Amino acid sequence: MKVIEEVKTVPVHSLGISQIIVYGSLFYVFALIKSSIAAKLNLSLEIVALTVSLSLFIHVVTSIHVGVLIDKYGGMRVMSIGLLVGALGLFTLGLSDTLYSFIFSMFLVGIAFSLASYNIAFSTAIQLDDKNSRHHITVITFYGAIASSLVWLIVGKLLPDFGLEITCYFLSLCLLLMGVHFFVSSFFKNTGKISKKIETFVSMKFSQLIPRDKKIIIFLMALGFIQYLIFATTALSLVDYFSIKFEVYYLAVVLASIYGPFQLVGRLIEMGLANKFDARNTGFIAAIVMPCSLILLFSSNYSICILSMALFGMSNGLLTVTNGYLPNLFFEPSIIGRIKGYIGAPTALGMSCAPFISGIFSENLNALLLLMILLSLIPIVSIFLLKREQQRAFI
């Protein structure tokens, strides 16, 4: 296989900003606009929530195919298409006036999210600079950590003052501008062209992998599925949980928002430890902290709940980097897109199940919390088993 070109410049800040726009516009925003959508289209909140969940499920069924596109054409090119599709999805959402047009717009949103979310950004960083990818992935997640807070602040102002349509058009414009930037850079300026680009596409199927590699992928699947299921389900339930516990809505919102900034703290810790410790070791500690943080939520003491949210944020922030980087310890960049495709499917499934599970337990949030604590033992076991596996030689 002939190596054509080696490029090591990673547009890490552009990738990071893209994740603020992607997660803010295609995921977090629906927490604020779902009621407006329901009112405009005369639908129940349950129908709106189900449609949003189904749009996330598109990521599950397309993840492996997206991985193939990443390995063939480069992650940045794939992301540019996803951002442009997302811009169209948000624009049509603003125009939607029937259930069918809403479903169509959410279909586009789901396609866009599957083409432009974390796994694609992480794969891009790995393709462009394999050796330093852990650092780049951490930086990208710095930006992603503020996506929810930033979009809620902006949309919280736009929605009541200008309405649903203008809010959707504004988000569509953000996606469009980012998509055009990536499209021009990757297709015409060759920014983001993958290092060690290979003339002949490397064939790889799960059935062709050796048993050891299959085992590693299964461990990574379990880690991704459970981590994102716990995070998304818990995050969606926090305001309701604190509202019931303390009977003050504003206080509940404040307490629930604490974890966001502490995700940044977790990622700063990861960056500081990256040169000294294996990513599996830092991830293992973070996985242990997760159930501890959830157990503390049972307390009725304000200070303990603040501590719980801080630990929850730091743990999830660090585990996001762990999930993004660990595949690179075991698999070459030439197939990283497809490996992340296999891992990304259960990860996306965890996110798409969260609204449904949160709804089921809405009347018994203590039971939901107990379930999340039990499930949080699985990432600990998964990372412990990955610690026993030999990493590839380059690191």
Averaged pLDDT, groups of 10, the chain, 395 residues long:
50 92 89 87 87 87 86 89 96 95 96 91 84 84 80 83 94 96 82 51 71 92 93 84 82 80 87 85 94 94 93 92 85 82 86 80 88 96 92 69
pLDDT of residue 194: 56
Give the tokens for residue 171.
């988000």
Q: Are 119 and 336 in contact (CB under 8 A)?
A: no
Give the tokens for residue 203.
């064939």
Cα separation, 310 vs 325, in Å, equals 23
pLDDT of residue 192: 56
pLDDT of residue 7: 46
Within 8 A by CB and 6+ apart from 313, the residues are 258, 259, 260, 261, 262, 263, 265, 266
CA angle 233, 372, 60 (to 5 degrees): 50
Q: Report the top-level CATH class of 202-395.
A: mainly alpha
pLDDT of residue 200: 46
Q: How many C-beta neighbours within 10 Å does residue 298 have?
A: 14
Residue 3's SS3 state is strand
**Helices of type H across the chain:** 12-23, 30-41, 45-73, 75-95, 99-116, 118-128, 133-145, 147-187, 211-246, 249-257, 259-273, 279-296, 302-330, 336-360, 365-375, 377-387
Q: Report the top-level CATH class of 9-199.
A: mainly alpha
Cα separation, 223 vs 320, in Å, equals 10
Amino acid present at 278: D
Cα separation, 49 vs 359, in Å, equals 9
Amino acid present at 364: N
Task: Domain ranges for the chain, please list them.
Answer: 9-199, 202-395
Q: DSSP label at 29?
A: T
User: In CATH terms, are 9-199 and 202-395 the same topology?
Assistant: yes
> What separation in angstroms does the CA of 109 have from each of 26, 92, 130, 224?
6, 10, 30, 22
Which residue in this structure is represented by tokens 């492996």?
64
Which residue in this structure is represented by tokens 């299959």?
214
Q: Are 127 and 194 in contact (CB under 8 A)?
A: yes
Q: Are 348 and 114 in contact (CB under 8 A)?
A: yes
Residue 6's SS3 state is coil
Cα separation, 55 vs 73, in Å, equals 25
Q: What are phi and psi of 364, to 5 degrees?
A: -145, 70
SS (H, E, C) 83-127: HHHHHHHHHHHHHCCCHHHHHHHHHHHHHHHHHHCHHHHHHHHHH
* Partners of 198 in beta bridges: 3
Q: Are 67 and 348 in contact (CB under 8 A)?
A: no
Phi-psi region of 248 (alpha: psi -120 to 50; beta: other; left: phi over 0): beta
pLDDT of residue 49: 82
pTM attached to this predicted model: 0.78
Q: DSSP label at 132?
A: T
Cα separation, 252 vs 243, in Å, equals 5
